[in-house]
Structure 1
Amino acid sequence: MKRQVTIVLGVLVILAGVGVNKYLSSKAKPPKRNPQGGKPTVLVQKVQNGFVKNTIPVTGKLVAKNRVELFAEVQGSVLNSGKTFKEGVSFSNGSRMLKLDSTEFHLSLLSAKSDFLNSLIQLTPDIKYDFREELDRWNVFINSVNIEQPFPALPKSKNKKFLNFLISRSISNQYYTIKSQEEKLSKFNLIAPFSGTLIEGNLQPGSMVRVGQKLGTFIQGGEYELEVSVSMNDGSLIKIGDSVLLQSEDIPGNWYGKVVRISVHIDQSTQTLKVYVNVSSKKLKEGMYLTGSIYSGGFENAVSIPRNILIGTNQVYLLKDTVLQLHEIKVLSIGENQAVIEGLSDGSKILGQVYSAAYNGMIVKPQLEN
């Protein structure tokens, strides 16, 4: 009996509690979003339209402007040529960087030259009797040949019959084969195309080098290209010759560059395009990362605002008396911290701070930014 009474009392208490809660809820007034006398103070920015410089933030890695990958075009063992062929070694323009043993090939070339001279001497009687007007020129050529030196040019002739005669005796074929071998002989000496430094390479005297083998990488310091990626919108604003101001996080200083190339290819994964900037300094090194800004013209009748006060992609809060109203604007450019917009009249005021509680129609107490 006592247990039944306890259960009934518990049910009555629960029902009474639910009833009281509903009664109090029905009497409570909904809170006002902006009660009179409790207007929040917000910072507002006064709009002054004018010319706004367009700055596009960029970052990229330096690559030497003069940079060549070195490959072997002939086969031979490495000879001692004075300087070692290793990373960090510098060479002046026109100096020999590497020398390969060309003894066997050189002897083969001398043999070919001797055979060619022998063929010419044997043809002299035929030239004398059949093409007397050509004899003097060919005698001068034969006497000027030194098999230890590059061959001079063949004598010119307008006699078509005589030229056909030389071709039939394989004189032209032998001559151009020898000139080809002379050119190949020069490749046993690797000559520096400009003054620079090896950034890759390690060949010791006695090492065997084969045709097509990569020998190293040679760069000229001081002149660099910076490859940066920009959005398609920013890319449409950049022009060849635009100025660029660059900095490094690792060493102090500012460097000025110029836009020299703009790619027309869009990277499918990032939807960006490449822009190339020339920059010169002996302090800079290949592989360094630089950050900076491209100064690409500007915008008339526009204003720069903090990027974080944009609402969505194309709205700001405009102050009408003391009421915030959403206002649609046109975004011309967006940087890391600032956005350039148009569509606001001079003297109008906009919400100049991030205020998460703001809403359309909110009454505020404006405070003008200094």
Structure 2
Amino acid sequence: MRKIILFVLGVVLLVGAIFGAKFIIDSKEPPETKIRKTVKTVFVETVHNSTVPILIPANGNLIAKHRVELYAEVQGVFKFSAKPFRAGQRYKKGQVLIKMDALEYRASVQSAKSDLYNQITAIMPDLRLDFPEVHPKWLNYLNRFNIDKAVLPLPESKTDKERFFIYGRGINTAYYNVKNLEERLVKYKITAPFNGVLIEALVTEGTLIRSGQKLGEYIDPEVYELQVAIAKEYADLLQEGESVSLSNNKKTQSYTGTVSRINASIEQSTQTVSVFIEVRGSSLKEGMYLKADIEAKKVENAIALDRSLVNDSDEMFVVKDTILSTIKVQPIYFSDKHVVVKGIPDGEVILAKQISGAYKGMLVKVVGDSLSKSESNTSLEAVNQ
């Protein structure tokens, strides 16, 4: 009986505790939650549409426009040069670069000239008898014949009879044999084709030079060309004679060049067109790396913006009475960091910098125009594909 009373008493206490706890919980008022609104500060820009030039970035290494690779066409010993034949040596036009010993070959040329002179002398009696009217001009030719100078052109035959006689005696054959030897004798001396500098020297004085051997390279250090590859989409926008801004890798020096040539063929593997830019400058050197900004076209009533401001749906945020809204734009050209767009009315206030978590209808605090009108109209480099 005692156990039953204790059991009932425990159950009653437990049920009372449950109901008491529930009453206390229900009677407690929840604390009032205070919602704090965070207003983000944004930088804005007032739109001023203008003409934006599209610049195609490119780069490459300089190559001398006037360049000559020196090769030997004859064999001989390197005997003389107007200056020491060394890399970096400057020559003026007409100065001797390389002169080879040609005494033996010159003797054979003199021998051939002597044979020609003897053959003409041998036909003079026949000319006096059979062709008295042409004898004086051939006699005058013999009188002006100088074995130490280049052979003079043969007198012109005015009749078929005279021409057949001259050809029959082998005069023309002997003459052209001498001219051939004279032309080859000239190849023993190589002269500078223009004012320039020797950038490579592979032989020295006293060296035996063989036919076909490369001797060096000679360039004009005043005029260079920069070959760059441009995406085929922009090839039709370029014209010869257009001005191009160039700079070195660190942008410490700038130059101005012109488009001199545009290749008519497209490189199949890269789908690019080779463009050659001519540039002059005393500080330029062959092989120097330069960057070029080629102006492809100009977009009217447009503005250049940071690429992150335009989303994948071609929309961007504008600020209207401290509230963010969106506007549809028309992208024209993209680069790695910027985009040229149209369709934004003048005077529209847009975000100058993208903010995280932005949404339409968001309340913001405007600081002011972070970019000036001149900065907002800067040039844009188009996509370099």
- TM-score between the two structures when normalised by the length of structure 2: 0.78
Q: CA separation in 2, counterparts of 1:108 and 1:152?
A: 18
State the Cα deviation string for residues 115-167 of structure 1 (Å, max 9, x = none): 11111111112222222211110011011111111011111222122112222
Report the CA distance between 1:177 and its aligned residue.
Answer: 1.7
Q: Secondary structure at the match of 1:118?
A: helix
Q: Does structure 1 conserve the Cα–Cα contact (< 8 Å) formed by 2:317 and 2:326?
A: yes
Residues 168-179 of structure 1: matches in 2 within 5 Å?
168-179=168-179
Counterpart of 1:24 in structure 2 is none
Kindly tell me: are residues 336 and 264 of structure 1, through their superposed partners in 2, closer, same or farther at Cα, counting changes over 3 Å?
farther
Contact map agreement 2:82 2:95 (CA 8 A) in 1: no
Aligned to 1:217: 217
**Contact in 2 for aligned 1:91/1:196 (Cα 8 Å):** yes
SS in 1 for 2:133: helix
Q: Which position in structure 2 is the counterpart of 1:135?
A: 135
1:235-246 pair list within 5 angstroms: 235-246=235-246
Cα shift at 1:201: 1.3
Aligned residue type for 2:49: N
Contact 1:222 1:283 survives alignment (8 Å) = no
The answer as to whether partners of 2:225 and 2:276 remain within 8 angstroms in 1 is yes
Relative distance call for 1:175 and 1:282 in structure 2 (3 A) is same
| CA deviation after TM superposition for structure 1 residue 334, in Å | 3.6
**What letter is aligned with 1:105?**
Y
Shift of 1:254: 2.3
* 1:73 alignment partner in structure 2: 73
Q: 1:86 is paired with a residue of what secondary structure?
A: coil
What are the superposed Cα offsets for residues 256-311 of structure 1, whole Å, 9 maximum, x if unpaired?
22121222332333332222212111111111111242345522111111233333
SS of corresponding position for 2:212: coil
Is residue 40–residue 365 contact of structure 1 (8 Å, CA) maintained in 2? yes
Q: 1:81 to 1:263 in 2, by over 3 A?
A: closer
Aligned to 2:326: 325
Per the alignment, residue 47 of structure 2 pairs with 47
Contact (CA 8 Å) 2:73, 2:212: kept in 1 or not? yes
Contact map agreement 1:44 1:366 (CA 8 A) in 2: no
Name the aligned partner's letter for residue 162 of structure 1: E
What is aligned with 1:365? 364
2:310 is aligned to 310
- Could you tell me which residue of structure 1 aligns to residue 352 of structure 2? 352
Q: Secondary structure at the match of 1:85?
A: coil
Distance 1:120 1:84 in 2: 45
Q: Is the 8 A contact 2:71 2:213 kept in 1?
A: yes
Q: Counterpart in 1 of 2:278?
A: 278
Alpha-carbon offset, residue 36 of structure 1: 10
Supply the AA of the counterpart residue of 2:364.
Answer: K
* Mean CA deviation greater in 243-252 or 119-128: 243-252
CA contact (8 A) 2:62 2:226 kept: yes
Q: Is the 8 A contact 1:324 1:364 kept in 2?
A: no
The equivalent of 1:205 in structure 2 is 205
| Structure-2 separation of matches of 1:94 and 1:310 | 62
Paired AA for residue 263 in structure 2: S
Q: Give the SS at the match of 2:152.
A: coil
The one-letter amino acid paired with 1:69 is: E
Give how far 1:97 is off.
0.6
The one-letter amino acid of 2:240's match is I
> Post-superposition shift, 1:206?
2.4
Cα shift at 1:47: 2.5
Query: Where does residue 13 of structure 1 map in the other structure?
Result: none
- Seen in structure 2, the aligned counterparts of structure 1 residues 301 and 328 have a Cα distance that, compared at 3 Å, is closer
Q: Deviations over 1:141-200 (max 9, x none)?
A: 011111111011111222122112222222112111211211111110110001111111
Which letter maps to 1:154? L
Contact 1:224–1:278 under 8 Å retained in 2 = yes
- What is the aligned-residue RMSD (CA, Å)? 2.6
1:1-370 to structure 2, matched below 5 A, reads 37-38=37-38, 40-249=40-249, 252-296=252-296, 298-312=298-312, 315-319=314-318, 321=320, 322-325=323-326, 327-331=328-332, 333-335=333-335, 337-355=337-355, 357-358=357-358, 361=360, 363-365=362-364, 367=366, 369-370=369-370
Further displaced range: 263-272 or 170-179: 263-272
**SS of residue matched to 2:150:** coil
Provide the rounded CA distance (Å) in 2 between the counterparts of 1:291 and 1:219.
22
How much identity, in percent, do the aligned residues show? 35
Deviates more, 1:337-346 or 1:60-69: 337-346
Q: Between Structure 1 and Structure 2, whose CA radius of gyration is higher?
A: 2
* 1:63-89 deviations in Å (ceiling 9; x for gaps): 112111111111111113353322112
CA spacing shift, 1:232–1:363, aligned 2, 3 Å: farther
Deviations 1:227-246 (A, max 9, x none): 22222334333222222222
1:224 deviates by 1.2
Preserved CA contact (<8 Å) 1:245 1:254: yes
How many residue pairs match? The answer is 333
